[in-house]
């Protein structure tokens, strides 16, 4: 492929690292965005040594309201053109709405909704002006239904998916495409960070490698939605989720997020 630069948020996590690997293997340059400067530097070192591509790192805390502006400022300073924007960073967390703190839920809204929205606001106009570009927003099957015990997370993913699908339509004659990746439960640091490791939902979590590969390819193809990382029985179930009786669906979701050890 011609040398395209991909900006990947949450680059040091499980799914993020897979996106980094896939793009670097194709000879593409990278902008790695994450919270931990040491992890970013180590990943930069590893990727440059193995794939001999140009790697830029930007360390930023996504719970800062101006995180996206910080990222965009660094891009402009370095005169970096973003060809692929992969909004991968995400924050989860279990507990009832009343149990969780104001700070936890507002931070989740910033990471899952505000930052990707702002990055698209800042970067999409440049892509449209050039008549080329790809955006991949990492959402979740959680976007399809309300999610008791992770109410805020499910709601943030519903927002991201709805926005992304509408933008796919708005962009369809511009040469720029927007793809939404909607995986099931994966074996990444996300479950551990959100205290979800022992839940039924993550009992059969899949490897992020296949999810990333299918998502990346769907992005290149300009596909609107891609469902991946689902066990056999989950595939038809996913398409039926929005049509199922809402109360029964929420009871099922709440049960899936209960602790396996109970």
3-state secondary structure 217-257: HHHHHCCCEEEECCCCCHHHHHHHHHHCCHHHHHHHHHHHC
Please count the other Cβ atoms lying within 10 Å of the Cβ belonging to residue 217. 13
Q: How many separate domains does the chain show?
A: 1
CA distance 117 to 131: 20
The pLDDT of residue 142: 86
pTM comes to: 0.85
Please count the other Cβ atoms lying within 10 Å of the Cβ belonging to residue 98. 6
On whether residue 261 sits in a domain, the answer given is: no
Taking 70 as the pLDDT cut, the residues of the chain under it are 1-2, 185-205, 230-246, 248-250, 252-253, 255-262
The pLDDT of residue 200: 47
On whether residue 99 sits in a domain, the answer given is: yes
The pLDDT of residue 262: 41
The pLDDT of residue 130: 98
- Give the structural domain span for 175: 5-256
The pLDDT of residue 258: 63
Question: Residue 23 is part of a domain; what is its CATH number?
Answer: 3.40.50.720
The pLDDT of residue 196: 46
The pLDDT of residue 230: 66
Measured in whole angstroms, how far is the alpha carbon of residue 194 from the centre of its chain? 15
pLDDT tens-digit series, residues 61-95: 999 999 999 999 999 999 999 999 999 999 998 89
């Amino acid at each position: 492929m011609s040398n395209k630069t991909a900006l990947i948020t949450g680059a040091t996590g499980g799914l993020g690292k897979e996106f980094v690997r896939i793009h670097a293997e194709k000879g593409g340059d990278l902008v790695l965005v994450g919270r931990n400067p040491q992890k970013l530097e180590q990943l930069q070192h590893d990727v440059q040594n193995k794939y001999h591509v140009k790697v830029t790192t930007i360390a930023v805390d996504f719970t800062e309201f101006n995180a996206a502006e910080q990222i965009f400022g660094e891009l402009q300073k370095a005169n970096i053109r973003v060809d692929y924007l992969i909004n991968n960073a995400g924050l989860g967390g279990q507990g009832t709405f009343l149990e969780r703190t104001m700070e936890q839920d507002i931070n989740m809204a910033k990471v899952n909704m505000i930052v990707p929205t702002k990055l698209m606001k800042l970067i999409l106009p440049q892509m449209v002006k050039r008549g080329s570009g790809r955006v991949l927003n990492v959402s979740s099957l959680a976007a399809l239904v309300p999610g008791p015990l992770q109410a805020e997370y499910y709601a943030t993913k519903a927002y991201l998916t709805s926005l992304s699908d509408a933008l796919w339509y708005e962009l369809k004659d511009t040469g720029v495409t927007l793809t939404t990746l909607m995986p099931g439960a994966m074996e990444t640091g996300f479950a551990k960070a959100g205290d979800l490791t022992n839940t039924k939902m993550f009992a059969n979590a899949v490897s992020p490698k296949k999810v990333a590969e299918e998502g990346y390819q769907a992005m290149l193809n300009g596909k609107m939605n891609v469902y991946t990382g689902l066990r056999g029985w989950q595939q038809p179930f996913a398409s039926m989720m929005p049509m199922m009786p809402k109360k029964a669906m929420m009871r099922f979701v709440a049960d899936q997020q209960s602790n396996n050890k109970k």
